[in-house]
Every structure is written in structure tokens, then in C-alpha cells.
């Protein structure tokens, strides 16, 4: 569904990604793991159009994405849950969800989408009139995922959804990702929580200093000596 080939990107004169190629097949969940500063967030930003790609190609279901600004890429069916959640703190939970359905296609189906998100996250419904900034960390992550789902995407990008959450909440978040997958959504997820992410994805890539170092099925990576030693502390 999503296909990147030899993508390079960076900030100003500072190159972060070098010849990154990856595939996200329809209906699958794919993980990208890597340590701090490896370029995981930069990769997500390139896919969602927040920063331009310098070289290489990027397609969604065969259609080229390169050069489209972020607001056009959402219309193509990619929703990005950014690092640190980035809710609009002084908008209420429901207003955050409404903003998630800003594109015309999603606006027309607002009521149905809202029901779907509230069914997935009943806590958000209870707190719908509350400013998003007053939610707990776990609730904020749910709101951020809900906001992304409101655009009715084909592909969901998740940037470290478990970061900064208590272990119990982390487990809930991964449980939710499993349920979202179960609904047939394609997911690309960036994580440092290697153990748990490899339990929810089908395949994964290891990103090191801006380049793909390893790729394989989740089981292959779980069994890989290098990953076990360097990323799972086993």
C-alpha cells in the first residue's frame, strides 16, 4: 500500500535519512524500531508531508505522494499521530476529534466516525467537554489516535504511542493498536519499546543513523541476536 524507495531527507544542510526503502502492505502492521535520534520521527514526517523528501520516491497504492503538502496527504488517506501526541490543549476532546475530521470526505461522515471513535475509546466520550490538556497521558494518547481515526484513513502512522506512559497504560495502548488492526486498518508504527511492538506488528525494520539496517518478519527480528542484544537487553 505504502512504498518508499531510496528516500533521503533532512533539515537544512543536515541529512537525516539516507536511501530508506520500505513497504507497508495493505492490512498489515509494520514497525520501525531504532534508538534516539535514528531518524524515526523524521521518516514519519516525510511520509505525512510535514517535511519534503530530497530524493527517492514515495507512493500510496501506486499514486505518487512526493511533493504533496501535509494537508493534501491526509486527503489521500494517511493519518499521522505525531510524537508527543500534540493535542490542541485548549480545545475540548470533542473539538480535537472534530478537527481530525476537517477534510471534506471525513466531515460528511462526522457523526458515524465519532460514534466509532467513542466506541473504541469510551473514556473519551465521558470526557468529551473537557479541554484536551487536562487529560491524563494515556487518555491523551487515545484522543490523539481518535483524532487521527476521524479522518477515516487507509494508513495510520503512529510515532511512539507508548512514550512517557505508565507500564499498565502502555499495555492498554498496544491492546488498542491490536484492535484497530483487527478492523482492517493498515498501520505503520515507530517505537523504542521493541519487545511490545514486535508482538503487534507483522513485520519490522531497524533504522540506525538514518538507514535501514535490518528488515524481516516480527518473529525473525525477535529471534535476531543483534536485536536481542542491542534493543531488547536479552
Partner 1 sequence: MDIFLVEAIINGILLGGVLALLALGLNLIFGVIDVVWIAYADIVMCGMYVIYVLYTHYDVPLLFACLAGIAGMAAFGVAVHLLIIAPVLNSAPINQLLATGGLLFFLQSFATLLFGTDFRNIGVRLPVVEVASIYISFARLIAFLFGLIGAVALYLFLKRTYIGTAIRAVAQDRDIVGLMGIDQRRIYLATSAIGGALAGLAACLLVLQYDVHPFIGNTFGPVIFMICVLGGLGNMIGGFVASFIISQIIAIGGYYSNTELSYVLAFTMFIILMFVRPRGLFAR
Ligand X SMILES: Nc1ncnc2c1ncn2[C@@H]1O[C@H](COP(=O)(O)OP(=O)(O)OP(=O)(O)O)[C@@H](O)[C@H]1O
Residue 117 near residue 153 (C-beta atoms within 8 A): no
C-alpha cell at 232: 531488547
Among 2, 24, 30, 34, binds ligand X (CB under 6 A): 34
Give which of partner 1, Mg ion, ligand X, none residue 31 binds (C-beta under 5 to 8 Å, depending on kind).
none
SS3 content of the chain, % helix, strand, coil (to 5): 40, 25, 30
Question: 27 or 89, CB closer to partner 1?
Answer: 89
Using the rule CB under 8 A, is 199 a contact of partner 1? no
Q: Within 103-132, which residues bind ligand X (CB under 6 A)?
A: none
Specify which residues 22 forms β-bridges with.
Answer: 4
Using the rule CB under 8 A, is 48 a contact of partner 1? yes
Span near Mg ion by CB under 5 A; candidates 24-32, 76-84, 214-222, 224-232: 76-84
Crossing angle, helix 137-149 and helix 93-100, to 10 degrees? 30
Give which of partner 1, ligand X, Mg ion, none residue 86 binds (C-beta under 5 to 8 Å, depending on kind).
partner 1
Nearest to 97 by CA among 146, 161, 130, 155: 146
Using the rule CB under 8 A, is 103 a contact of partner 1? yes
Query: What is the distance in angstroms between the CA of the first residue and the CA of the last residue of the chain?
Result: 34
Among 9, 58, 106, 197, binds partner 1 (CB under 8 A): 106
Give which of Mg ion, ligand X, partner 1, none residue 194 binds (C-beta under 5 to 8 Å, depending on kind).
none
Strand 78-81: give its sheet, edge to edge.
78-81, 155-159, 186-191, 29-33, 203-208, 211-217
Among 39, 77, 100, 138, binds ligand X (CB under 6 A): 39
Span near Mg ion by CB under 5 A; candidates 80-88, 140-148, 174-182, 207-215: 80-88
Using the rule CB under 8 A, is 202 a contact of partner 1? no
Q: How many CB atoms lie within 10 A of CB 84?
A: 13
Using the rule CB under 6 A, is 82 a contact of ligand X? no
Q: Show Cβ contacts of residue 39 under 8 Å, excluding neighbours closer than 6 positions.
A: 16, 17, 207, 209, 210
Q: Within 28-47, which residues bind Mg ion (CB under 5 A)?
A: 41
User: Could you list the residues that contact Mg ion (CB under 5 A)?
Assistant: 41, 83
Amino acid at each position: 500500500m505504502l512504498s518508499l524507495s531510496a528516500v533521503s531527507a533532512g533539515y537544512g544542510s543536515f541529512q537525516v535519512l539516507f536511501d530508506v526503502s520500505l513497504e507497508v502492505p495493505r492490512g498489515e502492521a509494520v514497525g520501525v524500531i531504532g534508538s534516539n535520534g535514528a531518524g524515526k520521527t523524521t521518516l514519519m514526517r516525510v511520509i505525512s508531508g510535514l517535511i519534503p523528501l530530497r530524493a527517492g520516491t514515495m507512493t500510496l497504492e501506486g499514486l505518487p505522494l512526493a511533493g504533496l503538502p501535509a494537508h493534501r496527504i491526509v486527503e489521500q488517506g494517511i493519518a499521522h499521530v505525531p510524537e508527543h501526541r500534540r493535542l490542541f490543549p485548549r480545545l475540548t476532546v470533542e473539538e480535537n476529534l472534530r478537527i481530525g475530521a476537517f477534510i471534506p470526505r471525513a466531515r460528511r461522515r462526522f457523526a458515524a466516525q465519532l460514534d466509532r471513535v467513542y466506541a473504541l475509546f469510551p473514556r473519551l466520550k465521558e470526557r468529551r467537554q473537557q479541554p484536551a490538556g487536562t487529560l491524563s497521558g494515556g487518555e491523551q494518547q487515545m484522543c490523539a489516535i481518535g483524532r487521527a481515526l476521524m479522518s477515516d484513513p487507509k494508513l495510520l502512522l503512529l510515532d511512539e504511542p507508548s512514550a512517557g506512559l505508565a507500564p499498565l497504560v502502555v499495555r492498554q495502548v498496544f491492546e488498542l493498536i491490536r484492535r484497530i488492526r483487527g478492523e482492517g486498518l493498515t498501520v505503520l508504527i515507530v517505537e523504542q519499546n521493541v519487545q511490545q511492538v514486535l508482538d503487534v506488528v507483522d513485520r519490522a525494520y531497524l533504522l540506525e543513523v538514518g538507514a535501514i539496517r535490518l528488515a524481516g518478519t516480527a518473529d525473525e527480528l525477535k529471534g535476531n541476536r543483534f536485536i536481542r542484544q542491542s534493543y531488547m537487553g536479552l
